[in-house]
Amino acid sequence: MELRQASDTTVDGVPIHGGTEVVPLLRAGLLRAETLVDIRGVVSRGVADGRIGAGVPLAEIECDPQVPEVLREACRLAASPQLRNMGSLGGNLLQATRCWYWRLNWPCRLHDGDECFAREGEHREHAIFANDFCASAHPSDVAAALLALDATLTTSRRELPLAGLYRLPTDDDRRTTTLDPGELILDVRYDKPDASVYLKAMERKRWAFPLVGVAAVRRGATTRVALAGVAPIPWLLDGFESAAPLPRNAYKVDVAKALVKRATAAVAG
């Protein structure tokens, strides 16, 4: 394996920024790379009004007063202080699921297998929406906050709404993002909200992935709510009618409903 410094945003190899996801995946054999490309020199680290470089570490976003509350709080409640010092905004959006079957390299559907082991097995922390094909839960608090903010991403090849970064895995395409190999997220933009909040239920009070994360953003009379930890991708909430909990994660529906109620009340004008 070799490590190269990126000289521009054309990357031929596996991009690495903070390494908090790439390094553990490499070491676990879940990611293979002949060439790692260190992109820290080519991805923006600036925070300006309504725009954040994808290279900004979560620890900086967490305490920047220009950043809307929903995103600051999502960063503050994500991971541990060390990981927030290392991990970038862009990398956080691209983190893989915490599904233990996937992490233990079981031949599940995300690994191109033909079974979702979580559906019949241990799925206490898994998805309650869109979990038919794969019940993994998307762990990014930050993605839920940006989805609620209706943020726009600029990549090295295009501009797209944050919602367009993610896709539900299907039989013929198991990916959960739409990013092409070598395509880099460069920055994130959003319009300022009138009010916003992020609430998170965790297994313990700090340093845990979301069982349910709820981001609520109000602009004028419209409130947009997005959830983390409830579907294979960050989930824009359109009611609970489509929820299909598994036998041991139905509690997530109750938790999500309660947090959504609290979050919408907190941002009400």
Partner 1 sequence: MRLDVNDHAYELHCEVGTTLAEALRDELSLTGTKIACGEGHCGACTVLVDGAPVLSCITLAHAVGDAKVTTIEGLREHPMLRSFVRADALQCGFCTPGQVVSAVALVEARPEPTTEEIRHAMAGNLCRCGAYPKIEEAIRTWRD
Determine if 27 is a binding residue for partner 1 (CB under 8 A). Answer: yes
- Decide: is 38 part of the binding site for partner 1 (CB under 8 A): yes
Q: Which stretch binds partner 1 (CB under 8 A): 80-88, 127-135, 175-183, 211-219?
A: 80-88
6, 11, 20, 149: which one binds partner 1 (CB under 8 A) = 20
**Could you tell me the two tokens for 238?**
């359109």
Binding test (CB under 8 A) with partner 1, winner from 36, 75, 135, 153:
36
Question: Of the two residues 52 and 79, which places its CB atom closer to partner 1 in the complex?
Answer: 79
Please report how close the Cβ of residue 83 comes to partner 1 at its closest, in angstroms.
7
CA 234, CA 213: separation in Å to the nearest integer? 10
Phi/psi of residue 82, nearest 5 degrees: -60, -45
Dist CA 251 CA 254 (whole Å): 5
* Contact between 184 and partner 1 per CB under 8 A: no
Residues 40-69 that bind partner 1 (CB under 8 A): 59
Q: Which residue stretch of 77-85, 127-135, 191-199, 219-227 sits at the interface with partner 1 (rule: CB under 8 A)?
A: 77-85
Binding status of residue 30 toward partner 1 by CB under 8 A: no
One residue of 30, 47, 83, 160 binding partner 1 per CB under 8 A: 83
Give me the least distance between CB of 146 and partner 1, in Å please.
23
28 in contact with partner 1 (CB under 8 A): yes
Residue 3 in contact with partner 1, rule: CB under 8 A: yes
Interaction of residue 251 with partner 1, rule CB under 8 A? no
Alpha-carbon distance of 206 to 97, in angstroms, equals: 19
82 binds partner 1 (CB under 8 A): yes
22 DSSP assignment: H
Residues 196-235 that bind partner 1 (CB under 8 A): 206-207
Beta-ladder partners of 152: 161, 189
Question: Does 92 help bind partner 1 (rule: CB under 8 A)?
Answer: no
Residue 177's identity, in one-letter code, is T
Residue 2's φ and ψ, nearest 5 degrees, are: -125, 155
Closest CA to 83 of 19, 30, 16, 14: 19
171 binds partner 1 (CB under 8 A): no
Cα dihedral sign, 174-176-178-183: negative
Tokens of 113: 């297998």
Q: What's the sign of the alpha-carbon dihedral 138, 215, 194, 240?
A: positive
User: For the residues of 118-148, what is the DSSP string, one character each?
Assistant: HHHS--TTS-SSS-SS-------HHHHHHHH
How near is the Cβ of 229 to partner 1 at its closest, in Å? 18
Contacts with partner 1, residue ranges (CB under 8 A):
1-3, 16, 19-20, 23-24, 26-28, 36, 38, 59, 76, 79-83, 85-86, 206-207
